[in-house]
Amino acid sequence: MPSALFTPIELRSLTIPHRGWVSPMCQYSCTPETGEGVPNDWHLMHLGSFAAGGAALMLTEAAAVNAAGRISPRDAGLYTDEQAAAWERIVHFVHQHGAVDCKIGVQLAHAGRKGSTYWPFADRSGSVRADDGGWVTSGPSNQPFEGYAPPVAMSEQEIEGVVADFATAAGRAVAAGFDTVEIHGAHGYLLHQFQSPLINTRTDKWGGSEEGRNRLMLTVVDAVRDVIPDSMPLLLRISATDWAEGGVDVEASVRLARAAAERGVDLVDVSSGGAVAHQKIRAVPGYQAGFAEQVKRDAGVRTGAVGLLTSPAQTEDIVANGRADAVFMARAALRDPHWWLRAAYELGYDIPWVPQYQRAVPRHGF
């Protein structure tokens, strides 16, 4: 039967088999044994399971563009040749073992003032001490994220260095065989920190007006777009709202998305929040889909919806009614790495199963 969710989509020269995608999900699993920021067998298993489960596109966890850009000492990176080689192995695995013609993209990120923190399942929280492998973080100002150590305000030279690091990481992503690149401009990390008036109090060209506060994000877009092939789609994740008075709102995000699209962004991955700890999020099923719908409509750019999207009927409705062009899943995918096989069955649509799982294809109920 026809299904909007399981309709292919083309972004530049990339054909993605359907609209059910995997959100970036930090695993905090890079260990000293395998090397700083180097993805390992855990990442291969984690992402590979979604490929076998029928996902059409997956984005890796945030891969830092330099060592200081990691959220924690256990975060992945894409700033060394060793990291790039490890990612290349995972890209090859996903391409080889997908149930459908699965694609994979890397999310490039810099944590800014939210870096050098302990991972969620560590036995402590907050900023990592220097004698425990931590580092001094940076941001638009020296204003800390609540509960974390203060960052150092970035100089003009440091800002330009980060732009160059994004471009270099994007070049490594192309060489590693990734199908697409996403720039992480959301969740209170560095690019979002510069965008948000709650954090960015600079008075130079990187702050002040909305144009100044958006400058770093759009400069990174330009730098990455210049490095990757014209045939490769570029994605941008944004936080549509800060969920806090005086912060980024949806109208500002529409203007940002429109400017990003003019610079070569092909799809905006619309999330929200993360800038400040005192945010007040009203989380209900599909609570961010309306943001994706508004950005799509008012900025004239393709969007992906994310946020408590769990059921096949719910995601089918979002795509079928044009509220977003694709849906990203995270927790639902963790609970069921074969979510897409089940969704296709429930929607009455057939997608391929990997040969090793053929005996499990449902005949009389899933």
Q: pLDDT value at position 194?
A: 98
Q: Is 16 helix (H, G, I), strand (E, B) or coil?
A: strand
pLDDT in tens, 281-308: 988 988 999 999 999 999 999 999 999 9
The DSSP result for 118-129, as a single string, is --TTSSS-SBPP
Q: Is 189 a catalytic residue?
A: yes
User: Where do runs of H (alpha helix) occur along the chain?
Assistant: 41-52, 81-97, 156-176, 190-195, 210-227, 250-262, 289-299, 312-320, 331-335, 339-346
Predicted confidence at residue 138, as pLDDT, reads: 98
- The two three-digit tokens of residue 270, written as one number: 């619309």
Predicted local distance difference test score (pLDDT) of residue 364: 77
Interior angle at CA 232, CA 229 and CA 238, nearest 5: 115
Q: Kindly tell me if the per-residue pLDDT of 75 is higher than 80.
A: yes
Nearest to 173 by CA among 243, 110, 246, 90: 90
Spatial separation of the C-alpha atoms in residues 99 and 328, rounded to whole Å: 18
Q: Which residues of 187-209 are buried (b: 16+ CB within 10 A; e: fewer)?
A: bbbbbbbbbbbbbbebeeebbee
Q: In whole angstroms, give the CA distance from residue 29 to residue 38.
A: 9
Domains and CATH numbers, the chain: 9-353 (3.20.20.70)
Q: Quick one: tokens of 346?
A: 């429930």
pTM of the model: 0.96
Of the candidate ranges 79-83, 122-126, 237-241, the one whose mean pLDDT is the lowest: 122-126
Residue 26 — very low, low, confident or very high, per pLDDT cuts 50/70/90? very high
In the predicted structure, residue 131 carries a pLDDT above the cut 80: yes
- Nearest-CA neighbor of 19 among 347, 283, 365, 354? 347
- Which position among 28, 79, 118, 189 bears the catalytic label? 189
- pLDDT of residue 1 exceeding 70, the answer is no
d(CA 110, CA 184) in angstroms, rounded, equals 8
The pLDDT score that the predictor gives to residue 240 is 97
Return all residues near 185 (Cβ < 8 A) that are at least 6 apart: 191, 192, 195, 217, 220, 236, 237, 238, 239
